């Protein structure tokens, strides 16, 4: 895993270096024009956050039912990245909305549920930091609950009336590469997913060292 | 006294708007430009990522420093 870090970092760096040029050359959307280009960093941010949700959920289940410490390290690392990528989505969204909708924020079901999902993982980190002994298990339950709720956040735009674009937009773009939106979107998505993997590896390394330090403290106390 | 009178007479604030007149099209000068919002969105991402990597690096350095201190203390106690 550690051997893959450097090549992965190079590939990710290259993707992020060429992304602005590819995005700049992408066609403008008919009604939203220039501001629509936020899309190429907004959607991949949520994709990276959903990657975090999958990792956090699987790792939390493994920790709860198998007691795996390694899984717990993945869970806390993924939760931190959920907060980071979610924050980027929550900032880029209103910047896009201000121009496209004329308002920074709309308390509709999609935006509100996305904010609540993000707050759930902020709560996860707070429980981990201030919950004291045994808080890992409580946090794991929060992560599983958050991951279980996340599909509803995704499909909420198709169920309720909301200003947010429907989930069909991204699959339609990918199915019709001739429109010119698919290339930049897929490149950005790949860059974000690789960045997520890199940051996860880095954060897991930190968690490993923190656990090693805790064991060292315990050894000296004995 | 004369100055205060001058201020009171000639430096009055403009009269308040008495009615609102509807306008169907927003003038070009009033339209919100998209470019600054786009630049802010991309800059926020960059700053956020750099800040996050810096916090991980700082925490990692602190943990490594604590481990070294603990190991040195252990070696002293062993002697």
Which of residues 5 through 44 in chain A touch B, CB cutoff 8 A?
20, 33-35, 37-38, 41-42
A65-116: pLDDT as tens digits: 999 999 999 999 999 999 999 999 999 999 999 999 989 999 999 999 999 9
Chain A touched by B73 (CB under 8 Å): yes
Query: Do A206 and B63 count as a contact with CB atoms less than 8 A apart?
Result: yes
A163-214: pLDDT as tens digits: 899 999 999 999 988 889 999 999 999 999 999 999 999 999 999 999 999 9
Interface confidence, given as ipTM, is 0.91
A134-175: pLDDT as tens digits: 899 999 999 999 999 999 999 999 998 888 999 999 999 999
Query: Do B74 and A206 count as a contact with CB atoms less than 8 A apart?
Result: no
**Backbone angle region of A105, left / alpha / beta, with phi > 0 → left and psi within -120 to 50 → alpha:** beta
Instruction: Give the CA angle between residues A80, A48, A30 to the nearest 5°.
Output: 135
* For chain A, domain boundaries: 37-221
Name A41's Cβ contacts closer than 8 Å, sequence gap at least 6.
Answer: A88, A92, A188, A192, B41, B42, B45
Res A113: pLDDT:
96
B13-48: pLDDT as tens digits: 666 766 767 677 767 777 788 889 999 999 999 999
- Tokens of residue A125, six digits: 């980190």
């Amino acid at each position: 895993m550690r051997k893959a870090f450097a090549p992965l970092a190079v590939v990710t760096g290259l993707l992020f270096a060429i992304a602005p040029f590819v995005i700049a050359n992408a066609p403008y959307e008919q009604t939203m024009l220039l501001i629509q280009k936020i899309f190429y960093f907004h959607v991949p941010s949520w994709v990276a956050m959903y990657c975090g949700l999958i990792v956090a959920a699987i790792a939390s289940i493994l920790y709860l039912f198998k007691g795996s410490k390694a899984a717990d390290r993945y869970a806390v690392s993924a939760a931190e990245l959920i907060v980071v990528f979610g924050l980027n989505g929550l900032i880029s969204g209103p910047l896009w909305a201000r121009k496209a909708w004329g308002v920074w924020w709309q308390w509709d079901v999609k935006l509100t549920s996305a904010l609540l999902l993000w707050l759930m993982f902020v709560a996860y980190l707070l429980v981990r930091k201030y919950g004291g002994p045994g808080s890992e298990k409580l946090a794991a339950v929060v992560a599983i609950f958050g991951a279980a709720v996340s599909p509803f956040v995704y499909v909420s735009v198709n169920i309720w009336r909301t200003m947010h674009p429907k989930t069909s937009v991204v699959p339609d773009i990918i199915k019709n590469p001739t429109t010119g939106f698919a290339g930049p979107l897929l490149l950005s998505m790949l860059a974000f997913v690789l960045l997520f993997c890199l940051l996860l590896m880095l954060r897991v390394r930190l968690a490993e060292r923190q656990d090693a330090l805790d064991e060292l403290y315990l050894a000296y106390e004995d | 006294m004369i100055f205060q009178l001058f201020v009171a007479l000639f430096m009055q604030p403009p009269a308040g708007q008495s009615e609102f007149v509807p306008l169907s099209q927003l003038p070009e000068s009033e339209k919100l430009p998209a470019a600054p919002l786009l630049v802010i969105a991309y800059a926020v991402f960059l700053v956020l990522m750099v800040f996050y990597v810096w916090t991980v690096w700082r925490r990692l350095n602190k943990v490594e420093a604590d481990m070294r201190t603990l190991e040195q203390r252990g070696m002293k106690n062993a002697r």
